[in-house]
Amino acid sequence: MIAFILSCILIGANAGPFPEGSDAEARYVFHLADKDGNYSLSLAEFQRIFFDFDRNHDKSVTSDEFLLGWMERHLGSSLEAVILFHHLDVDRNGHIEVTDIPWILAFFDRNMDGVVGQAEFVITWLKLINSPQSR
């Protein structure tokens, strides 16, 4: 346990406000996205995040836009942003579009009730960030 905490502190030293890949970080991102604070993310809330990141309003989020928005919000390291971007770019054409959003929601929505609860979000987030093949 102590070794775990120590490694979190060391890894997190130059990342965002939370240790990289921690569930505290996942919950922080969740609450940023959960605009109405009802502990679940709807399709509308996913769309709102998308448009927040789309700086030039061309209805597509490029990796540059994503990385900039990510760093501005202190969500974590640039490595995490790159990992996440590649998972969110469902059709792998180099940018995230409005049409990708339902797929992104479905990706997080483990019990398929159409919304993403905090537990669902944290579990999927940690799997993404900590998956060995994404390092």
Q: How far is the CB of 2 from Ca ion (least distance, A)?
A: 35
Among 52, 58, 64, 91, binds Ca ion (CB under 5 A): 58
At its nearest, how many Å lie between Ca ion and the CB of residue 110? 6
Name the one range near Ca ion by CB under 5 A: 6-14, 70-78, 111-119, 123-131: 111-119
133: exposed, middle or buried (C-beta count within 10 Å: 0-12, 13-18, 19+)? exposed
Q: Which two tokens stand for residue 37?
A: 């604070």
**Closer residue to Ca ion in complex, CB, 60/124:** 60
Interacting positions 65-84 with Ca ion (CB under 5 A) = none
Name residues contacting Ca ion, limited to 15-54 (CB under 5 A).
34, 36, 38, 54
Query: Does residue 113 bind Ca ion (CB under 5 A)?
Result: yes
- Told to check if 111 binds Ca ion by CB under 5 A, we report yes
- Contact positions vs Ca ion (CB under 5 A): 34, 36, 38, 54, 56, 58, 60, 109, 111, 113
